[in-house]
Structure 1
Amino acid sequence: MNLFNQETIQNILPSDGITNYHGAILSQEQSHFYYQKLLSEIAWKNDEAVIFGKRIITKRKVAWYGTTDYYYKYSNITKQALIFTEDLLALKKIVEKESNATYNSCLLNLYHTGEEGMAWHSDGEKMLKKNGEIASLTLGAERKFSFKHKITKQKIDLVLERGSLLVMKGTTQTNWLHRLPPTKLIKTPRINLTFRTILI
């Protein structure tokens, strides 16, 4: 159920990239259904990263799924994808239709409260399709999401509502950073699914 007319979906970035906010593409019932299913059935694990030679384990939990059990390098750690579940395939189909793109993998993030977030970064790993679409689907708590231009430092903020889709593409990752800022005001979990194309 797209609450926005496709023809009126605009680029939220003023320049140097394309990011389209589609608003809610799932009904409240669909959002609640998939949120509960993914919360209990996904193989969640605390995320790990190696930064300046030091292994960091986050409170935030993650899971990687794909069309095959490919290996990939993420935050200087090599991991193996799990095969898409039926629920993830159903969501992938919905997202692909809405974004007019195809994806072969999905990184899921579980933020238990608003105090868990993500620092400024861009998704520029070599394993990703260059300038390809990254489609971000939000379930659970609504959260603020921010962009910052790498040169001008201009910032763009928006609130990602429950069941909404944000699609980053073109040169967005080259020219912009993004983050999920922490907040003490949110006490409930958010699940974020980022569908993307991995070069296998």
Structure 2
Amino acid sequence: MTRQAQSDNSKAVAQHFLLPDAEITLWRLWLDKPDADALLAPLTRELSWRQEQIRIYGKTVKIPRQQVWMGEPHCSYQYSGVRFTPSAWHPAVQRLTAAVSDSINQPLNCVLLNLYANGQDHMGWHADNEPELGVAPIIASLSLGATRRFDLQHQTQGHQLQLQLEHGSLLVMAGACQQHWQHRLPKQSRVAAPRLNLTFRYIAPPV
């Protein structure tokens, strides 16, 4: 079930999805096309993309996408046995982080950027539930480039949601979403164009 509501961001209308154990909001046009276009090419070209290796079931494998982890100096985190240390801010990414933070009225200080070369690049089922993100983390996901399918599934109740994440769209996963739901970006063999995704998060500074 969904309902429409006017977003505080005048560029878009927010679509709220009424789901158990999750608060999901999608702005399909959070960035208009000229603004989204102006970000896609330079970020793809200027960032130091890496195809990371992670451990899955005791084996070291290359992930099917390229990544950059960026944020404040204290924002290290561990995923699948690998510790990621943040790169220094790219000015455009830092401005985007501030804009998204203002738009959703939540603090954000780090971002995982994923570059999918085409529909063969993908991400499997997972939840963003690393301890560094705290309880009930808010994940804000900005999409640039090719439209890709995004799936969510409840871990115990069988509920599912399928979305199309378009160029310039912003998806926010909040509430208990990361405790009770998983999400993925599946392969889509017919997609030939690249997609760049920025997932903004918050990691509390050490006390």
TM-score relative to the length of structure 2: 0.90
Of 27, 49, 73 in structure 2, the residue corresponding to residue 22 of structure 1 is 27
- Give matches, 1:53-132, under 5 Å: 53-68=58-73, 70-132=75-137
Instruction: Find the aligned partners of 1:26 and 1:133 in 2 and give their Cα distance.
Output: 20
Q: Give the whole-Å Cα distance in 2 for the aligned partners of 1:29 and 1:199.
A: 34
Distance 1:46 1:31 in 2: 24
* Per-residue deviation, residues 128-173 of structure 1 (Å, max 9, x unmatched): 1321211000001111101101112221101011101000111001
1:115-154 matches, cutoff 5 A = 115-154=120-159
Seq. identity, %: 34
Aligned residues: 197
Q: Is the 8 A contact 1:142 1:159 kept in 2?
A: yes
For structure 1, list consecutive stretches of 5 or more residues without a partner in the other structure. none
Q: Name the CA distance, whole Å, in 2 between partners of 1:46 and 1:68.
A: 22
2:125 counterpart letter in structure 1? W
Structure 2 residue runs of 5 or longer lacking an equivalent are none
Q: Which moved more, 1:47-56 or 1:170-179?
A: 47-56
1:43 maps to 2:20: no
CA RMSD of aligned residues (A): 1.5
1:196 alignment partner in structure 2: 201
Q: 1:10 to 1:164 in 2, by over 3 A?
A: closer
- 2-structure distance, mates of 1:43, 1:137: 19
Cα drift, residue 15 of structure 1? 1.2
Residue 34 of structure 1: how far off its partner (Å): 0.5
Cα distance between partner residues in 2 of 1:147 and 1:196: 18
Deviation at 1:110, TM superposition (A): 0.4
Q: Where does residue 34 of structure 1 map in the other structure? A: 39
Change (3 A) 1:16 1:69: closer
TM-score, with length taken from structure 1: 0.93
